[in-house]
Structure 1
Amino acid sequence: MFLRSLLSINRCSLLSLVRTHSTTSNTTHFGYDEVPEHEKQARVNQVFTNVADKYDLMNDIMSFGVHRVWKNYFIQVVRPNPEWNYIDVAGGTGDIAFRYLKELNRFHPSSSSSVSPPEPSPQTTSAESSEKALVYPTSKCVVADINANMLAVGKQRSLENNLHDRIQWVETNAEKLPFHDSQFDVYTIAFGIRNCTHIDRVVSEAYRVLKKGGRFLCLEFSQVNNTLLQYFYDQYSKTFIPPMGQIIANDWKSYQYLIESIRVFPKQTEFADLIRSCNFRYVNYENLSFGIAAIHSGYKL
């Protein structure tokens, strides 16, 4: 009976207990600190409220500017299609979504006039309303983020890039998206999943909102696979990034958290196993820059 009960536990949730950043049933990692689970999201929100205006600069500092190359390559892996319904989660500043739409314009010029249906127009959906009723996407390109400041930056940038009428902005938690099941062909999340409290729930939600045959793609800082490079990367991270955060954004602690969050995120093989446990198939990953970042992929079949 005990064995039967164990086998009935959702595999994704079980692996989360042993592989993800939760240290007990009631605490989780906030960088190197152990904090109550219910406090982490508020702390993360404060970090990104602090750095929203400096987000691109932050990534430039943390990656020597290489994050722009990684993101461009990431979109090439996605291979945008004008027929798809696409969602980018934890993408408030629009960095990935803009690349997606510009890649569509490049290879499918006529798609720019048909990406969004005329009615209803793209809008911002609050996290509060998502708890009342599930909704359908109103655009073929959706950006979801829990942080209002990040979304504000993205909406302003979309105006500057003349893409504002092609994106639906949704303020919501990645662990509980406000959409009906099986709505999207592609789900992306870039440099965001490590900041979530329960990454297994994020991956499970991705599976839920994807259509059959849909693809999950995650770009995230990861574990360097070269010992010598790992040493220099660690020294750079610890001694350079927080001081630069203090100089540029007058914020040491937020940048300290960001580098610590990379260190406690599951290794490539562990994260791939978690994705498989959430029922995705053909799961694989590709290291970028010796594993400083990695692209994880899986299909809902």
Structure 2
Amino acid sequence: MTDSTQNQNPADIKDLQDKLVKDSVNHNEDLVKQAAKRQEMSKNTKTDDFTHVEDLPIGTAQGQQDFDDQSLDSKTKTSAFHQRDDISNPHTSSTDGDEITHFGYQSVNKADKQARVADVFTSVAKKYDIMNDLMSFGIHRLWKRFAISLSGVRSGQHVLDIAGGTGDLAKVFSREVGRRGHVVLSDINAAMLEVGRERLINAGCNNVDFILANAETLAPFEDNSFDLVTISFGLRNVTDKDAALKSMFRVLKPGGRLLILEFSKPIFEPLSKAYDLYSFTALPLMGKIVANDSDSYRYLAESIRMHPNQQTLKQMMEDAGFENCDYHNLTGGIVAVHRGFKA
């Protein structure tokens, strides 16, 4: 199941996985019914389009840290979304010329990929959570819970959740670090970040900040700032994964830990074939029915296939400077949790 394990007994890990699966059975039985109910309710509810970044709502500062007066609105003394050069595209025609990368199975200029990915997640943001439940039959919750169990997060620590979207992990980390700790939920996509912000504020998470940031640069964050950095189902959408890993290494404190939860490569051939069939038929169909967007979910399936396999990603982490790297295959390798440490 794993490549190697640090400070944990493999038998304990297996017991934890078994327990998570048992705990989820009752929950998973109701997912389809809940989806149908939400879909029916959405037909009768007026929804507004997501605002532009500059129009995002201004809210009270969510963290407990002090803010420099220059970062506050002069009238309301409240903190808005941070938006400097955090989400700028580091890939332009002048920096990369006509260099090609992949967008799913398509070949595109590096300078164009970030905007294309942004369109995908702006389109799916409102249905992101319900689609995750349907696509994974609820198992994504177990994957995330297992990743959190490997995080080693403790009270008082500082956590950065990159590409945190709707805030599944950040919500748990907010509780775990407590009043003395601090969590930053960051995402490059304003629509996704708005959903996560509303969700966590409603949940009473008052030790979380929400910051627009590009994973390749993590421009808003100082060196050696966080005890834990996580990225869940976001790395495969990054144009330059090596640059992103180096930025994650930069912002981690010495002794800090990186966790990457991402789709990977099934380790059994029959499972791989069945998974391909499901991904390229069922996912776009569900996307069409639930989110009225089959193209975005076809891209998501293709992006999974183009993502590095387990061993390759481990090597990329080591090349970025991380030590004691390991990974844990979940659901036969459909998903893997990679872990690395900064010495």
Match of 2:105 in 1: 32
Match of 1:176 in 2: 217
Per the alignment, do residues 293 and 25 of structure 1 end up closer, same or farther by CA in structure 2, a change over 3 Å counting?
farther
CA deviation map 1:188-227 (0-9, x unaligned): 0000000010011110000000111111110001100011
The structure 2 residue matched to 1:150, chosen from 159, 178, 192, is 192
Which aligned segments of 4 or more residues in structure 1 are displaced greater than 6 angstroms? none
CA deviation map 1:128-148 (0-9, x unaligned): xxxxxxxxxxxx211111000
Alignment of 1:75-94 (within 5 A): 75-94=148-167
For residue 326 of structure 2, give the secondary structure of its aligned residue in structure 1: strand
Q: Which runs of 5+ in 2 are unaligned?
A: 1-96
TM-aligned CA deviation for residue 62 of structure 1: 2.8
TM-aligned CA deviation for residue 100 of structure 1: 1.7
The structure 2 residue matched to 1:73, chosen from 135, 142, 146, is 146
**Cα RMSD for the two superposed structures:** 1.3
Give the distance between the partners of 1:201 and 1:99, measured in 2 at CA. Answer: 28
For residue 316 of structure 2, give the secondary structure of its aligned residue in structure 1: helix
Letter paired with 1:278: A
Give the distance between the partners of 2:246 and 2:140, measured in 1 at CA. Answer: 26
Q: Does 1:300 align with 2:320?
A: no
Contact residue 131 and residue 290 of structure 2 kept, 8 A: no
Q: Does 1:217 align with 2:264?
A: no
Give the distance between the partners of 1:282 and 1:112, measured in 2 at CA. Answer: 28
CA deviation map 1:150-196 (0-9, x unaligned): 11001110122111x21011101011111111111110000000001
Match of 1:50 in 2: 123
Contact residue 98 and residue 109 of structure 2 kept, 8 A: no
Contact residue 72 and residue 99 of structure 1 kept, 8 A: no
Give the distance between the partners of 1:292 and 1:63, measured in 2 at CA. Answer: 11
Contact residue 245 and residue 252 of structure 1 kept, 8 A: yes
Give the distance between the partners of 2:106 and 2:294, measured in 1 at CA. Answer: 15
Contact residue 242 and residue 252 of structure 1 kept, 8 A: yes
Identity %: 45
Give the distance between the partners of 2:259 and 2:299, measured in 1 at CA. Answer: 24
TM-aligned CA deviation for residue 58 of structure 1: 2.2
Contact residue 61 and residue 241 of structure 1 kept, 8 A: no
Contact residue 191 and residue 219 of structure 1 kept, 8 A: yes
Match of 1:98 in 2: 171
Alignment of 1:229-248 (within 5 A): 229-248=271-290
Pick 1 or 2: higher relative contact order, CA cutoff 8 A, min separation 6: 1
Q: Count the aligned residue pairs.
A: 246
Q: Which runs of 5+ in 1 are unaligned?
A: 1-23, 105-110, 116-139
Per the alignment, do residues 35 and 231 of structure 1 end up closer, same or farther by CA in structure 2, a change over 3 Å counting?
same
